[in-house]
């Protein structure tokens, strides 16, 4: 009986810890029911590297930025991309934004771009947050959470890094520290060799 109680306590702690590092995103049935996960490439077949690991291409997307310009993943080929799904109502997203800004500033001259994908909020809401905080990251608007669903962002923040060839190198669900961001940046750079 004591073992069972300990197991239940550990399970409860695990569930609570997962809730503490990310925020659930509101979803609609039509955007999540048949959405492929990040491990299911949509436009290219997966390949196998020499080391035997599966190569997964990031799903293509097309989103508007805050100025109404269309940004497509295919147009970013040749750049290392960090996609960060976020919203202003998510405290963990807001907590990591200054560190994302630092990472972007440090590496932006190395063909690296951070795209902050705002989920289900208006341009005005996102722009207001950026103005209040002084964050100057490129922001894309995923108003219907279609791209968040495509990338499996059922909770945010979710970060996916994509190398110059369009390969999804790794991802992280939950709030990241600057040290974790540096680590995934290094993984991203190494994946290009």
Residue 136 in domain: yes
- Look up the domain containing 151 and give its range: 23-190
Residue 163 in domain: yes
| Banded model confidence at residue 76, pLDDT cuts 50, 70, 90 | very high
- Residue 178, pLDDT > 80, answer yes
Return d(Cα 58, Cα 29) in angstroms, integer: 23
How many domains, the chain?
A: 1
DSSP structural state of residue 87:
-
Q: What is the pLDDT of residues 102-137, one digit of tens each?
A: 999 999 999 999 999 999 999 999 999 999 999 999
Residue 140 in domain: yes
71-81 burial, b at 16+ Cβ within 10 Å, e below that, comes to bebeebeeebb
Residue 51 in domain: yes
Distances (CA, A) of 27 to 4, 68, 181, 189: 35, 24, 27, 33
Residue 50 in domain: yes
For the entire predicted model, the pTM comes to 0.77
pLDDT score of 149: 96
Residue 15 in domain: no
CATH of the domain at 92: 3.40.30.10
């Amino acid at each position: 009986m004591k073992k069972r109680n300990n197991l239940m306590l550990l399970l409860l702690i695990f569930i609570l810890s997962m809730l503490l590092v990310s925020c659930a995103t509101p979803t609609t049935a039509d955007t999540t029911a048949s959405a492929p996960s990040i491990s299911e490439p949509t436009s290219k077949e997966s390949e196998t590297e020499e080391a035997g690991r599966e190569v997964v291409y990031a799903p293509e997307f097309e989103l508007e930025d805050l100025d109404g310009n269309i940004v497509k993943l295919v147009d970013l080929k040749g750049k290392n991309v960090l996609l960060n799904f976020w919203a202003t109502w998510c405290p963990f997203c807001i907590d990591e934004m200054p560190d994302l800004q630092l990472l972007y500033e440090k590496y932006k001259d190395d063909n690296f771009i951070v795209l902050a994908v705002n989920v289900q909020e208006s341009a005005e809401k996102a722009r207001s947050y950026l103005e209040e905080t002084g964050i100057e990251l490129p922001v894309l608007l995923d108003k219907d959470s279609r791209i968040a669903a495509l990338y499996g962002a059922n909770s945010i923040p979710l970060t996916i890094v994509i190398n110059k060839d369009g390969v999804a190198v790794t991802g992280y669900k939950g709030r990241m520290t600057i040290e974790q961001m540096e680590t995934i940046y290094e993984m991203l750079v190494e994946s290009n060799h």
